[in-house]
Amino acid sequence: MLSEFSVAGMVCPNNVFLAPMAGYTNYPFRTMCEGLGAGLAFTEMVSAKGLHYGNEETRLLLYHGPQTAAPAAEKPHRPIAAQIFGSDPDIMREACESEELGDFDLIDINMGCPMPKVTRNGEGSALMDNMPLAEKIVAACAKSGKRISVKFRTGVVPARKVTREFAKMCEGAGASMITVHGRTADKIYAGPCDFEEIAAAKEAVSIPVVANGGVWNRKDADKILKMTGADAVMVARAALYDPRVFAELCGGERPPLLPIFLRQLHETEELYGPRFALVFMRKMAAFYIKGTHGAAAYKRRLFEAQTTAEVEALAREIWQ
């Protein structure tokens, strides 16, 4: 299953990717997953309009590490990817051409988010019901000269599945890669992944296809790649519950969780401050302890914690 992956001249260490997840895939989480084996990690979904209007919180979502003065030839390069969303082709192209996205090797266009706060503006998965506009957006972004991918679902509802047609449109408009989440938007994350629809997309295009949906372990990843013929697999919720899944997917064993959690906690606090780190890492720890003996009691104590030091102490108690 595991293999080197390349798209339009961008080479990734392997074909196991971390999905963009709003509210979760910040810089410390992305680097943690890459350290555990992920071949490519995407930023949280970023608003093109937010960049247009200079929103500072939007810019912070794109943080990708401290910049050094070392010559480019001396810097070890690992591809980085950002995801943007919007419905205005000109503003989307402007975002692709912006300084904030200048260092990113790949820019992904979100056309799959099913959340009402996104779709009611005609963005995210709503674009699957507006293919002419979706095509204009992809074409505009491609004209920026950046390497472009598109992430979408099989359709908005089961009665209107458009996977094959949408895949062909993306390729024709200039996308270098597509990611297909094998569910319709109305299903959110419920129900089985539709392998046939992902396979249909793979058959319809010559660009790389990434399969997304229902990958929780090595067996799931092997199955989805075998059943769809996809070139890579994208992991989402499984990484939230246990980021060590990438170690397993890349052929290793899941390492101890405590040092991984503590590093994430300290890096999150250093970058975003103690208040954000407290709220965010309580949430992450709640994911990580799912299935642990006494998880309900630990979770209650976790959300009673008022400092990151208390969260750290509880983590040591749980995983020591």
* Same structural domain, 148 and 285: no
Bridge partners for 211 per DSSP = 180, 233
Q: Among all chains, which residue has been given the structure tokens 């019901």? A: 129
Each residue's pLDDT tens digit, 299-319: 999 999 999 999 999 999 999
pLDDT, tens only, 49-71: 999 998 888 888 999 988 654 44
Residues 189 and 308 in one domain: no
> Domain total for the chain?
2
Q: Are residues 79 and 174 located together in one domain of the fold? A: yes
Q: What is the pLDDT at residue 67?
A: 61
Question: Catalytic: which of 12, 33, 96, 113?
Answer: 113
The domain in which residue 140 lies consists of 5-249
- Residue 190 near residue 200 (C-beta atoms within 8 A): no
Q: How high is the mean pLDDT of the chain?
A: 94
Residues 186-199: pLDDT tens digits? 999 888 999 999 99
Shared-domain flag, residues 54 and 107 = yes
Could you report the per-residue pLDDT of 253-296, keeping only the tens digit for each?
999 999 999 999 999 999 999 999 999 999 999 999 998 888 99
Taking the C-alpha atoms of residue 26 and residue 106, their distance in angstroms, rounded to an integer, is 17
Q: How buried is residue 268: exposed, middle or buried, by Cβ count under 10 Å (0-12/13-18/19+)? A: buried
**Does the pLDDT at position 132 exceed 50?**
yes
Per-residue pLDDT reduced to its tens digit, 143-190: 999 999 999 999 999 999 999 999 999 999 999 999 999 999 999 988
Residues 212 and 294 in one domain: no
Higher pLDDT, 251 or 73: 251
Taking every pair of Cα atoms in the chain, the longest distance, rounded to a whole number of angstroms, is: 55
Q: What is the pLDDT of residue 69?
A: 47
In this structure, the answer to whether residues 33 and 11 fall within a common structural domain is: yes
**113 catalytic per annotation:** yes
